[in-house]
Structure 1
């Protein structure tokens, strides 16, 4: 995701101007930071405990809104408790893992709370996954059970024989209001709504025994091996987010946070929900994002805050203006990826006063939050970090004469790294070999250690930064991280394709980078009209929609280095510009079922924003 460089740097006068409004948040921040930084690995803490405290503060207040359903804190807590007591009766213990695959709906929220109270780690499986990727994601974390919604069951049924879970531990939630009408379960599944129905509704004794070091979630990120990596998200880390992001929002019990972001990602399930729990407010959710329904839902739920990623903001700006643009009480929004070129326009059009842009990764130990409400910045970081000089061509840090890294000067761009300390630990991945690849040793002195975020940021002063770009073998599109290696593996499986090189390219007026693949064909093969649709069918069957390449470049030969590494920089620079190459380029236009040749006319229309990717 690329953001344009801004000329101004933050100065003392600008900080001073923001102080009056900031001071109103100080009580919230002090409370939050106290909770966040006074924790230890053995401190009783986490989502379960925080939610029970919110129930005590506001038992009859609305905790969750979805479609026509609403749940008070008491009701949602009782439901979660039934799930917790059921699994306790089976002998499920702290440290066990249960995979959960549901779209955004109340069943997911209740399940997550119930498992959190037991110290069970919920593996939040991407609901759009299928095939080999889904098998890998589930088996990777060695779950003792799988909870799946009817909306995801077909994907699970297709690969069920490859899942390493006992046959009697497959649970199912109907695709409806299961607390009202549980229904009957399909063959091979236990109906979770039915089996928990007669269990106790009081808080289980296990909640207070969950410690900071215990796992809360597994959140999946793109892996450079071509398959997703499972990131350990501990209760301690959740409490850090709760104490910072949750209290930066400074919501109250009358606030409603509307979230359409997928809850298998940390921005939705952690950042947005933290602010709600911290305030005993209400969380309003929608299964999947819809531009046409967004402000209608905001009005319906009387939302006062929204969660966002950059792509969502662009979609809303592209929509025709409507009276609903201002008929709401939304004054705050929290998320990441707001483009500088629409930041001011978005606030002006929709009447938003605070854009709480943040930076953080599911696996990282450094985070930023826009606590002062400056424009065009991911904000301030209270955690120790550095921005170091980096050579993009060589893909390595620039070292001084002694072999140590060099910090960039104010206003310059460099690689963001987070210092690993007791208070800012690196929880890591399930695969310890992956941890070594992202930990930098002896960075500024012998014995220190830093987490390599893989992201370029600009130091704009006063411990504030501006996100610039993402390095390495992933790129971001539609608010999701795309693994180039994963896509290369799937594309190469197509029978006529011999080699594939995947990279992200910028498309005008969009956020992030769209997927593009340079391919070479197998000997004596050529692409027919049928191939142009068959390839797309193959890609869609194995990849989530956001990872399907939008552009294909057909090459005679893939250029490599002397060590056989693909020369991606040249491909990235040329992108899909048909005037930069004589090679054939294909494009998947919005709504089409087949690739077609990119002509000069189509290319110019894309540049003119006549297609909405």
Structure 2
């Protein structure tokens, strides 16, 4: 990789300004910071206890806004308690799993909270999964209950023959409307909880801070989705770090969340941040670029949750006199591209960008508490950015066998030390857990978590995101496993072997999928339409490659790994290869040949992916 790209000293944090802002933060919030640091050791705070405290402190303030319906904190907690007390009557206990397969709406937050008050674990299934990925996720964490939103019943039914049901497993439908039908062997959850008491269950007090709260499914770096463990500490940290320390939440605020709650940005950051100060959560069913600012004004939002792709879509809209016609003072999220950061703040008059970096399965984060531009923020956990060998696709080790940290402005692989509060909780799958760890990094016997991400060292405990390594890429707010996509491609009858990687498209965040393919047989007989149907049947839309490159052979390293970095560097540039390249353009149903005119339009940002 180009050395000029890997080193950039223009983004280094000014030490004097850092000390000034840090001093002001600690002077204002010293007691709060101490509470955050002490919570894991006291081990008494849970998400259920936080909600109960909110109900007592903010009882008549609005907790939830969703499509014309509002709930106060008192009403939200009482509805949660009805569900929790009903679940307890069925024998649900601490450590049990409840699979929840629903889209964004009030009932989803109610169910997750009710389950947490018992000490049980919500396995929150990604509602965009299809086929093998969906059945794998549902089978990976078999629950005592399965709760399906009526809006996803058809999708659930499409994989039910591949699910491993147990005899005592109970099934519930959570209707999205009064007309929703209830299939045989399913109970109507809204009806069965109605007569149960609204008092707080006694189980809440026995739930501990460091115990599991939820499983969220991440593509990780290899294979099918893995169930990553989220603890109650993650919800506590979201509440206090992002809600009080970062944004000074109050009942005067409304936080608009259009992101899915199976993602941690919505689940463990924006939602608890709002509740920490008695603010309202305005739930968006899904993000719509054309309706976004109307929704912001409709809910009177003062803060919204984002991923970088959202901000890119908003910036790509034609400028409007209404761009500043809102009350938004801060945004919380991750992935805002550095090249549009300052323009985004200026165009939409945003004072505070609460960028953060974290992974579902890693108990450590970077947070932009000091409101610097173009940074992930600072990290208080033990971390290191180490030198990386891009040819061999592994961290470098010196003559003594240890890794070395990068210098200021340089790019390195991000590692977190696995000890104390940042000890890796792991995946449900123990083999996957071991693969995530690196040993003897700086000294014999030390253990570090490999994030698989490249960051730039900015100094003052700050870093800037650079890229995600080989086996995953991020597109449309989702982490996509290249190995998972390759497996689907390779099962197609006329594909001999495929190599999948992410490529940059001007005007977009993250990387779009591209596949280099060697066909079995003659290329002229390769049925692109049928191939696309195969992909649609087995992959979520965000994981389907946007570009296909057909090759005669694929190069490998001496260790027989496919040379993805060379292919990734060439991207979909038709000027560097004679290989036929096909593109799946927005709103098109089939792949078409990438011509010079189409390539030019893409490079000039005239086609919005």
Partner residue, 1:173: 174
- In structure 2, the residue matched to 1:338 is 336
Q: Deviations over 1:178-204 (max 9, x none)?
A: xxx486512332111111111111111
Cα offsets for 1:535-583 (capped at 9, x unmatched): 2222112111110110001112233334432121111011100111111
Question: Bigger CA drift: 380-389 or 40-49?
Answer: 40-49
Q: Structure 1: state its 5+ residue gaps.
A: none
Q: Is the 8 A contact 1:363 1:426 kept in 2?
A: yes
Alignment of 1:14-25 (within 5 A): 14-16=17-19, 18=21, 22=25
* Alignment of structure 1 residues 125-164 onto 2, 5 Å: 125-164=125-164
369, 372, 391: which one aligns with 2:370: 372
Tell me, what secondary structure is at the counterpart of 1:107? helix
CA contact (8 A) 1:93 1:118 kept: yes
Q: Distance in 2 between matches of 1:294 and 1:497?
A: 41
1:508 Cα deviation after fit: 1.1
User: Residue 527 of structure 1: CA displacement?
Assistant: 4.2
Moved more, 408-417 or 326-335: 408-417
The Cα of 1:3 is off from its aligned counterpart by: 11
**Residue 232 of structure 1 is aligned with which of 207, 229, 234?**
229
Matched with 2:585 is 589
Cα drift, residue 482 of structure 1? 0.2
- Among residues 542, 545, 551, which one is paired with 1:546 in the alignment? 542
- Whole-angstrom CA distance in 1 between matches of 2:461 and 2:557: 39
CA root-mean-square deviation: 1.9
Q: Does the CA-based 8 Å contact 1:35-1:239 persist in structure 2? A: no
| Aligned CA distance change for structure 1 residues 555 and 413 (closer, same or farther; 3 Å) | same
- Secondary structure of 2:51's counterpart equals helix
Residues 609/500 of structure 1: CA separation in 2 closer, same or farther (3 Å cut) = same
CA contact 1:120–1:216 (8 Å) conserved in 2: yes
Shift in alpha-carbon separation, 1:34–1:51, aligned structure 2, 3 A: farther
Preserved CA contact (<8 Å) 1:477 1:513? yes
In the other structure, the counterpart of 1:221 is 218
User: How far 1:497 sits from its partner (Å)?
Assistant: 1.5
Where 1:38 maps in the other structure, the secondary structure is helix
Report the equivalent of 2:77. Answer: 77
- Contact 1:212–1:235, Cα closer than 8 Å, also in 2: yes
- Contact 1:42-1:213 within 8 A present in 2 as well: no
Unaligned regions of 5+ residues in structure 2, if any? none
Match of 1:8 in 2: 11
C-alpha separation in 2, matches of 1:121 and 1:7: 45
1:191 maps to which residue? 188
Report how far residue 17 of structure 1 moved.
5.3
**Bigger relative contact order (CA 8 A; separation at least 6):** 1
Check the 8 A contact 1:365/1:418 in 2, yes or no: no
Contact (CA 8 Å) 1:145, 1:165: kept in 2 or not? Answer: no
Q: 2-side partners of 1:590 and 1:4: how far apart?
A: 35
**How is 1:455-474 mapped onto 2 (pairs within 5 angstroms)?**
455-474=453-472
Per the TM alignment, residue 100 of structure 1 is displaced from its structure 2 partner at its CA by 0.7
Structure 1 position 388, deviation (Å): 1.3
Task: Quote the offset at 1:525 in angstroms.
Answer: 5.7
- TM-aligned CA distance change 1:81 to 1:309, over 3 Å: same
Report how far residue 602 of structure 1 moved.
0.6
Is contact 1:357-1:378 (8 Å) kept?
Answer: yes
* Count of residue correspondences: 603
For 1:471 and 1:122, the matched residues in 2 are separated by: 30
